[in-house]
Structure 1
């Protein structure tokens, strides 16, 4: 068996989508000790609502409990990132904060929303007014780099050469240079073996992990090559014994600007594993949203999102 580390700019899939959304606009209440934001979803909500930059702070994040209405209370202090500004005309205190509504429990995806909320507290008569601007999640750019550009120079002519690409436009598309959350991309793995007839070899991509670069990861494809979360990454399609790929949509971890992805590739002779080369996923079982498994992750090669 052969293990390779592969570099990814994201990884999320289009084969299965979270069919949910927000009804209208969130309701904002500028209270005496907290800003209260209420969100009504089209279907029961199981994701997270949090203030930007404070996803892992329990005081600044709430998880949905399968209800259609979810509420977050943001303290008026700076604990959850609320900014305070003194205003002269009219006299008072202006607080603003960014709230993220994330439908997947772990990853930011194209259906998520970001809201910039402002509350103005008049100084003398204690009247409270409110306003907020709504925008989609900000675009992020990815710097592309090919981990395997110099691989042939580091292996002997008899060793297998495997390549990972992120493409725009499907299996024959052009290399991805920039991306934002929600973009559709195509992930492609290929191998060639010098010294053997390629038709005699069989490739299996397995044990794929995505992590945040800080030791927290999620296994997306297990040791058998089965997906664990079809919303993020569906079962790979094998176009030949030595080529696999899948379309997906760009995501990233909450409050993280870097995403890491690694897989292992197993190369075997076809005559030794004919059944496995058919890549029949009927035995894989449940791959519903949120079924990925948390693991401790090692340090990965880095791809930066531009802020």
Structure 2
């Protein structure tokens, strides 16, 4: 009968200036929760329903509740916001009837042109300038298992080797810089892994990127990791697009970044490097993010399983042999000691009783004088 409780069709979404507005219609009156994935206990990110209506409404404020932001240039410039909502038909648990939907809203960037002064330029001859457009570039970010030919990483274990790959399509003169990368869990907690220059923040987690010869792709190997209390992570990065004009090599000096420098040189270099970033010709920025991955910590689970097994086996096998020697546990040693003391005490008690009885029998056997 679970099928009678599922949502009827796809939820209706309205992309409002300040929030997502969502309508959900169910086959029966809805009793349960609607919440953003990973935010079921956060105020403003979940709603509880216990009514007789089969049409329920819920809204989520922009940039809240783990909402993902992704700047776009193609096919039109704007901001893509996405959120995963869960429709749960139970007040506490996730059940078979529950459903999840990925909600996306695109907010187009308004472009205005204002002409303030009119100047007679009819006598001037206009010269054509080569146009290099970065807005037609499309970029993707994917994480694979093992290497470039591995499958997309969706379920991996802590410590498993991963291959991060960024690729962009565009004109031949296009250069890309991957920077400001962050890893986030499904609760919204974030950790920065690449800085504004495109250099690794913590090489133990993710190292410096390797750029391809065409400067339109980059990759790096890492090992799977996770936050302490959650099992899902996703990566998001900013891709700076730059196109070299004729006889202009500014983009080549930006990508790939110069990360392998000393601390003192890095401080001196950062100012000039960031200036080149802001002065780069025809540069635009877009955001890309990977898919959500489930990271399993099998090592901790195995350790706990082994500890539980050893704890159980110690109650059944209190002593073991190692190299001809017998090892017993402390509890077993105490038990054996107490048992030995009891046996010795019992033996002494029996001996004393026998001695007393023997003395009495000898006394009674002696003749009495008249």
Which bin holds the TM-score, normalised by the shorter protein?
Answer: 0.3 to 0.5
Tell me which structure has the larger Cα radius of gyration.
2
Q: TM-score, with normalisation over the residues of structure 1?
A: 0.39
Bigger share in helix: 2
Bigger share in strand: 1
Q: TM-score, with normalisation over the residues of structure 2?
A: 0.33
Q: Tell me: higher relative CO, structure 1 or 2? Use CA pairs within 8 A at least 6 residues apart.
A: 1
